[in-house]
Amino acid sequence: MAFIEAFASYLPEKVVTNAELAARLDCDPAWITRASGIEQRRYAADTESVVDLAVAAAQACLTRAARAPSDVQLLVVASASDPTRFPGPASLVAHRLGLEQTPALDVPVASAGGLIGMILGNALADTYSVVLVVAAEKMSSLALREPLDPNVAILFGDGAGACLLSSARGRARIADHVLHSDGAFAGSLAWRADGTFSMDGRSVLLQASRKFPRVIAELLERNALNASEVPVFLMHQANQNLMDATARALGVPAPRFFSNIRAYGNTSSASLFIAAADWQQSAGFQSGVPVVFAAFGAGFHWGAVLARGL
């Protein structure tokens, strides 16, 4: 089982408020907040790519962990919004970090990619010793597609997060994980190579609102923990209403589900690490205290990770 050394994030400069977006979408800014909990989001510049976002988050994470890029023995990059079908962004991110021979793997899974990268990194840390997991998304390229769809455009933002795992040291240790996939509803959330996008919001929310609490409960049960014993849940920042519903289903107070969706919107696979980085700065791991990470994304793929502070 791997140690977690650091989290970090990179958010582009441009802030887009609900008022600005509502004017463009001809809708009520209060409706955006009510439907999602989002008050603003960040958009990358036209010249800023998924790779640019990923490199910035990776460098911030290495700095925070006091590591050099050359320490990284395996790079994992999650992104579902990189426009190039192949190669995925991982090899380019590795190149930009100055890594010449280091293996770099892509995880093209929307929303759950960061968590899946973390689980892969945890499983491979014994072999590769230092694993850098990065999740980067330029979701504005989807949100701002014409014709604008308010149900899509209000949700997404751009950003990147990173997590450094190692076999030797860290602030916390990953204790266990659960990961599931089910393709029965793959068409409910899909962005196809021909550019068509489909999102059945009711189906996604119905599945997510059941699977999130269930997978967290499964993880806790096999580690002999009750939800009440976990002070912090770090979840993919999909929608504030979904986080609140998950907290209700588990019988824990909603504030235990760390949230920064108000400021950044739904940044898909990047959101878990962006939330973790903010939480690490404001609170962070404490010795022996369990923390649960969870994500659900297109596919559907969903899972949870249990870590304990050292």
Partner 1 sequence: MTDAERRTAIRDIVRQFAAEAREPEPTESLFDSGLIDSFVLPQLVTALEEAFHIRIPDSDLNPRQFESLARIEAYLSTRAE
Query: Can you give the binding site for partner 1, defined by CB under 8 A?
Result: 182, 184, 200-203, 205-207, 209-211, 241-242, 245
Shortest Cβ 188–partner 1 spacing (Å): 9
Closest distance to partner 1 from the beta carbon of 301 (Å): 14
Instruction: Please state at what angle helix 271-282 crosses helix 113-128, rounded to 10 degrees.
Output: 70
Of 201, 251, 270, 213, give the one whose Cα is nearest residue 42.
270
Q: Shortest gap between Cβ of 240 and partner 1 (angstroms)?
A: 10
Beta carbon of residue 201, minimum distance to partner 1 (angstroms, whole number): 5
**What is the rounded CA–CA span in Å between residue 115 and residue 284?**
18
Q: Least CB distance from residue 198 to partner 1, whole Å? A: 14
- Beta carbon nearer to partner 1, 20 or 182: 182
Residue type, 267: T
Which residue, 95 or 180, is less far from partner 1 as judged by CB? 180
Provide, rounded to whole angstroms, the least separation between the CB of residue 116 and partner 1.
20
Q: Which is nearer to partner 1, 133 or 208 (CB)?
A: 208
Name the residue nearer to partner 1 (CB basis): 173 or 180. Answer: 180
Smaller CB separation from partner 1, 205 or 254: 205
Q: In angstroms, what is the minimal distance from the CB of 37 to partner 1?
A: 11
For β-strands 290-297 and 232-235, DSSP reports them as parallel
Q: Which is nearer to partner 1, 184 or 224 (CB)?
A: 184
Closest distance to partner 1 from the beta carbon of 202 (Å):
4
Q: Which is nearer to partner 1, 15 or 199 (CB)?
A: 199
Q: Which is nearer to partner 1, 63 or 151 (CB)?
A: 151
Q: For the chain, give the secondary structure using H, E and C.
A: CCEEEEEEEECCCEEEEHHHHHHHHCCCHHHHHHHHCCCEEEECCCCCCHHHHHHHHHHHHHHHCCCCHHHCCEEEEECCCCCCCCCCHHHHHHHHCCCCCCCEEEECCCCCHHHHHHHHHHHHHHHHCEEEEEEEEECHHHHCCCCCCHHHHCCECEEEEEEEEECCCCCEEEEEEEEEECHHHHHHEEECCCCCEEECHHHHHHHHHHHHHHHHHHHHHHCCCCHHHCCEEEECCCCHHHHHHHHHHHCCCHHHEECCHHHHCECHHHHHHHHHHHHHHHCCCCECCEEEEEEEECCCEEEEEEEEEC
